[in-house]
Amino acid sequence: MILLGVNIDHCATLRQARYRDAGASEGGSIEPDPVALALLAEQAGADGITVHLREDRRHIQERDVVRLREAIDTRLNLEMACTPAMIDFALGLKPDSVCLVPENRQEVTTEGGLDVVGNRDRVRAVVEAMAGAGIQTSLFIGPDEPQIELAAELGAPWIELHTGAYANAYHSPGRAGEFERLWLGAARGHELGLVINAGHGINYVNIAEVRTLPHLHELNIGHSLLSRALFSGIEGAVCEMKARLNPGP
Protein backbone atom coordinates (compact mmCIF):
# COMPACT_ATOMS: atom_id res chain seq x y z
CA MET A 1 0.00 0.00 0.00
CA ILE A 2 1.35 3.41 -1.03
CA LEU A 3 0.62 6.13 1.53
CA LEU A 4 -0.99 9.48 0.69
CA GLY A 5 0.35 12.65 2.25
CA VAL A 6 -1.95 15.64 1.71
CA ASN A 7 -0.29 19.02 1.27
CA ILE A 8 -2.64 21.75 2.50
CA ASP A 9 -0.52 24.82 1.65
CA HIS A 10 -2.92 26.19 -0.94
CA CYS A 11 -5.80 26.25 1.51
CA ALA A 12 -3.70 28.83 3.35
CA THR A 13 -2.95 30.54 0.00
CA LEU A 14 -6.68 31.19 -0.40
CA ARG A 15 -6.96 32.49 3.17
CA GLN A 16 -3.98 34.83 2.77
CA ALA A 17 -5.39 36.24 -0.46
CA ARG A 18 -8.01 37.98 1.65
CA TYR A 19 -6.65 38.04 5.21
CA ARG A 20 -2.90 38.56 4.78
CA ASP A 21 -3.04 41.80 6.79
CA ALA A 22 -5.57 40.63 9.37
CA GLY A 23 -2.96 40.18 12.10
CA ALA A 24 -4.21 36.65 12.79
CA SER A 25 -4.56 33.36 10.93
CA GLU A 26 -7.74 32.07 12.61
CA GLY A 27 -10.92 33.12 14.35
CA GLY A 28 -13.72 35.54 13.57
CA SER A 29 -14.44 35.82 9.86
CA ILE A 30 -11.01 34.49 8.80
CA GLU A 31 -11.40 31.57 6.41
CA PRO A 32 -10.65 28.95 5.20
CA ASP A 33 -8.86 27.22 8.07
CA PRO A 34 -6.13 24.83 6.87
CA VAL A 35 -6.25 22.93 10.16
CA ALA A 36 -9.94 22.17 9.70
CA LEU A 37 -9.16 21.02 6.15
CA ALA A 38 -6.39 18.75 7.46
CA LEU A 39 -8.76 17.10 9.93
CA LEU A 40 -11.30 16.43 7.17
CA ALA A 41 -8.55 15.00 4.97
CA GLU A 42 -7.53 12.67 7.78
CA GLN A 43 -11.10 11.50 8.26
CA ALA A 44 -11.24 10.69 4.53
CA GLY A 45 -8.10 8.54 4.74
CA ALA A 46 -5.07 10.80 4.41
CA ASP A 47 -2.02 9.08 5.90
CA GLY A 48 -0.25 12.32 6.75
CA ILE A 49 -0.41 16.09 6.43
CA THR A 50 2.31 18.13 4.73
CA VAL A 51 2.89 21.88 5.04
CA HIS A 52 5.66 24.17 3.84
CA LEU A 53 6.52 27.01 6.22
CA ARG A 54 8.21 29.36 3.77
CA GLU A 55 10.62 32.11 4.72
CA ASP A 56 8.25 34.78 3.36
CA ARG A 57 5.19 33.16 5.04
CA ARG A 58 3.20 33.50 1.82
CA HIS A 59 0.67 30.84 2.84
CA ILE A 60 1.22 28.64 5.90
CA GLN A 61 1.94 30.57 9.11
CA GLU A 62 3.78 29.43 12.23
CA ARG A 63 0.51 29.34 14.17
CA ASP A 64 -0.96 26.96 11.57
CA VAL A 65 1.90 24.51 12.05
CA VAL A 66 1.68 24.63 15.83
CA ARG A 67 -2.08 23.99 15.70
CA LEU A 68 -1.57 21.11 13.29
CA ARG A 69 0.97 19.52 15.61
CA GLU A 70 -1.64 19.66 18.39
CA ALA A 71 -4.67 18.62 16.34
CA ILE A 72 -3.92 15.92 13.80
CA ASP A 73 -3.86 12.20 14.54
CA THR A 74 -1.68 11.05 11.64
CA ARG A 75 1.81 12.35 10.77
CA LEU A 76 2.95 15.93 10.37
CA ASN A 77 5.53 16.44 7.60
CA LEU A 78 7.15 19.89 7.64
CA GLU A 79 8.72 21.09 4.40
CA MET A 80 11.50 23.55 5.19
CA ALA A 81 14.56 25.34 3.87
CA CYS A 82 18.05 24.52 5.19
CA THR A 83 18.35 27.57 7.43
CA PRO A 84 19.26 27.98 11.12
CA ALA A 85 15.88 29.59 11.81
CA MET A 86 13.98 26.64 10.36
CA ILE A 87 16.19 24.14 12.20
CA ASP A 88 15.33 25.86 15.47
CA PHE A 89 11.63 25.96 14.62
CA ALA A 90 11.54 22.26 13.71
CA LEU A 91 13.43 21.21 16.83
CA GLY A 92 10.93 23.13 18.95
CA LEU A 93 7.90 21.80 17.07
CA LYS A 94 9.08 18.18 16.72
CA PRO A 95 7.13 17.16 13.59
CA ASP A 96 7.18 13.48 12.67
CA SER A 97 9.33 14.28 9.66
CA VAL A 98 10.86 17.17 7.79
CA CYS A 99 11.43 17.44 4.04
CA LEU A 100 14.28 19.73 2.98
CA VAL A 101 13.37 21.80 -0.06
CA PRO A 102 14.89 24.76 -1.95
CA GLU A 103 13.17 28.12 -1.80
CA ASN A 104 12.93 30.84 -4.44
CA ARG A 105 10.94 33.94 -3.53
CA GLN A 106 9.83 34.36 -7.16
CA GLU A 107 8.21 30.93 -7.51
CA VAL A 108 4.57 30.22 -6.72
CA THR A 109 5.36 26.67 -5.61
CA THR A 110 8.60 24.72 -5.28
CA GLU A 111 9.76 24.27 -8.86
CA GLY A 112 12.96 22.26 -8.54
CA GLY A 113 14.73 19.73 -6.41
CA LEU A 114 17.21 20.51 -3.66
CA ASP A 115 20.85 20.65 -4.80
CA VAL A 116 22.35 18.36 -2.18
CA VAL A 117 25.71 18.23 -3.95
CA GLY A 118 26.04 22.02 -3.92
CA ASN A 119 24.80 22.36 -0.33
CA ARG A 120 26.46 19.34 1.29
CA ASP A 121 27.40 20.98 4.58
CA ARG A 122 24.07 22.76 5.07
CA VAL A 123 22.12 19.60 4.35
CA ARG A 124 24.36 17.51 6.62
CA ALA A 125 23.79 19.96 9.48
CA VAL A 126 20.01 19.64 9.19
CA VAL A 127 20.03 15.86 8.83
CA GLU A 128 22.22 15.48 11.90
CA ALA A 129 20.19 17.94 13.98
CA MET A 130 16.91 16.23 13.11
CA ALA A 131 18.31 12.73 13.72
CA GLY A 132 19.47 13.86 17.16
CA ALA A 133 15.88 14.87 17.95
CA GLY A 134 14.34 11.67 16.57
CA ILE A 135 12.86 13.43 13.52
CA GLN A 136 13.02 11.67 10.14
CA THR A 137 14.51 13.75 7.32
CA SER A 138 13.57 13.53 3.64
CA LEU A 139 15.42 15.32 0.84
CA PHE A 140 13.30 16.66 -2.03
CA ILE A 141 15.55 15.95 -5.00
CA GLY A 142 15.48 15.30 -8.71
CA PRO A 143 16.00 11.70 -9.85
CA ASP A 144 19.72 12.24 -10.45
CA GLU A 145 22.21 9.61 -9.30
CA PRO A 146 24.77 11.99 -7.69
CA GLN A 147 22.03 13.64 -5.62
CA ILE A 148 20.58 10.29 -4.57
CA GLU A 149 23.94 8.81 -3.65
CA LEU A 150 24.93 11.85 -1.58
CA ALA A 151 21.58 11.77 0.21
CA ALA A 152 22.41 8.25 1.37
CA GLU A 153 25.97 9.24 2.27
CA LEU A 154 24.74 12.11 4.45
CA GLY A 155 22.47 9.76 6.37
CA ALA A 156 19.07 11.01 5.24
CA PRO A 157 16.71 8.05 5.68
CA TRP A 158 14.19 9.23 3.06
CA ILE A 159 14.18 10.96 -0.31
CA GLU A 160 11.22 12.51 -2.11
CA LEU A 161 11.71 12.36 -5.85
CA HIS A 162 10.66 15.56 -7.61
CA THR A 163 8.09 14.48 -10.21
CA GLY A 164 7.56 17.97 -11.67
CA ALA A 165 9.57 17.47 -14.87
CA TYR A 166 7.64 14.27 -15.56
CA ALA A 167 4.29 15.94 -14.85
CA ASN A 168 5.14 18.86 -17.15
CA ALA A 169 6.14 16.45 -19.93
CA TYR A 170 3.15 14.14 -19.48
CA HIS A 171 1.38 15.22 -22.67
CA SER A 172 4.58 15.47 -24.72
CA PRO A 173 7.10 13.07 -26.31
CA GLY A 174 9.42 13.67 -23.35
CA ARG A 175 7.16 11.80 -20.96
CA ALA A 176 8.78 8.37 -21.43
CA GLY A 177 12.27 9.70 -20.78
CA GLU A 178 11.23 11.55 -17.63
CA PHE A 179 9.41 8.50 -16.31
CA GLU A 180 12.50 6.37 -16.94
CA ARG A 181 14.58 8.85 -14.93
CA LEU A 182 12.16 8.52 -12.03
CA TRP A 183 12.15 4.73 -12.30
CA LEU A 184 15.94 4.51 -12.26
CA GLY A 185 16.14 7.02 -9.41
CA ALA A 186 13.68 5.07 -7.29
CA ALA A 187 15.54 1.82 -7.97
CA ARG A 188 18.91 3.37 -7.12
CA GLY A 189 17.61 4.95 -3.93
CA HIS A 190 16.17 1.64 -2.83
CA GLU A 191 19.51 -0.08 -3.51
CA LEU A 192 21.14 2.43 -1.16
CA GLY A 193 18.61 1.72 1.60
CA LEU A 194 16.57 4.90 1.21
CA VAL A 195 12.81 5.13 1.69
CA ILE A 196 11.33 6.37 -1.60
CA ASN A 197 8.66 9.07 -1.62
CA ALA A 198 7.61 11.27 -4.54
CA GLY A 199 5.69 14.44 -5.20
CA HIS A 200 4.99 17.55 -7.32
CA GLY A 201 2.51 17.80 -10.16
CA ILE A 202 0.86 14.45 -9.43
CA ASN A 203 -2.81 14.47 -10.39
CA TYR A 204 -5.79 12.19 -10.98
CA VAL A 205 -4.57 11.26 -14.47
CA ASN A 206 -0.83 10.70 -14.14
CA ILE A 207 -1.27 8.88 -10.82
CA ALA A 208 -2.02 5.74 -12.84
CA GLU A 209 1.59 5.69 -14.09
CA VAL A 210 3.32 7.30 -11.12
CA ARG A 211 2.01 4.62 -8.78
CA THR A 212 3.89 1.96 -10.76
CA LEU A 213 7.29 3.39 -9.82
CA PRO A 214 9.22 0.79 -7.82
CA HIS A 215 9.52 0.85 -4.03
CA LEU A 216 7.17 3.79 -3.46
CA HIS A 217 6.37 4.44 0.18
CA GLU A 218 4.38 7.69 0.00
CA LEU A 219 3.19 10.32 -2.46
CA ASN A 220 2.69 13.91 -1.33
CA ILE A 221 -0.06 15.67 -3.30
CA GLY A 222 -1.54 19.12 -2.80
CA HIS A 223 -2.63 21.27 -5.73
CA SER A 224 -4.60 18.62 -7.61
CA LEU A 225 -6.38 17.47 -4.45
CA LEU A 226 -7.42 20.98 -3.47
CA SER A 227 -8.51 21.74 -7.03
CA ARG A 228 -10.76 18.67 -7.01
CA ALA A 229 -12.00 19.59 -3.53
CA LEU A 230 -13.51 22.80 -4.91
CA PHE A 231 -16.03 20.60 -6.71
CA SER A 232 -16.34 17.45 -4.61
CA GLY A 233 -15.17 18.51 -1.14
CA ILE A 234 -11.88 17.45 0.42
CA GLU A 235 -13.35 14.15 1.62
CA GLY A 236 -14.35 13.14 -1.90
CA ALA A 237 -11.05 14.36 -3.34
CA VAL A 238 -8.99 12.33 -0.87
CA CYS A 239 -11.13 9.20 -1.21
CA GLU A 240 -10.85 9.26 -5.01
CA MET A 241 -7.09 9.79 -4.95
CA LYS A 242 -6.65 6.97 -2.44
CA ALA A 243 -8.67 4.68 -4.70
CA ARG A 244 -6.54 5.57 -7.71
CA LEU A 245 -3.33 5.26 -5.70
CA ASN A 246 -4.09 1.74 -4.51
CA PRO A 247 -6.73 0.30 -6.87
CA GLY A 248 -8.23 -3.02 -5.94
CA PRO A 249 -7.84 -6.21 -7.99
Catalytic positions are 52, 79, 200
Candidates 112, 113, 106, 140; CA nearest to 126 is 140
Q: Is 68 exposed, middle or buried (0-12, 13-18, 19+ CB in 10 A)?
A: buried
CA–CA gap between residue 174 and residue 215 (Å, rounded): 23
161: which residues sit within 8 A by CB, 6+ positions away? 141, 142, 143, 182, 185, 186, 189, 196, 197, 198, 199, 213
3-state secondary structure of 220: strand
CA–CA gap between residue 72 and residue 47 (Å, rounded): 11
Burial 119-128 (b: 16+ CB within 10 A, else e): beebbbebbe
Return the number of other C-beta atoms located less than 10 Å from residue 39's C-beta: 18
Q: Report DSSP letters for 89-123, one per residue.
A: HHHHH--SEEEE----TT-SS--S---TGGGHHHH
E strands along 96-225, which residues? 97-100, 136-141, 158-162, 195-199, 216-221
Contact between 210 and 163 under an 8 Å Cβ cutoff? The reply is yes
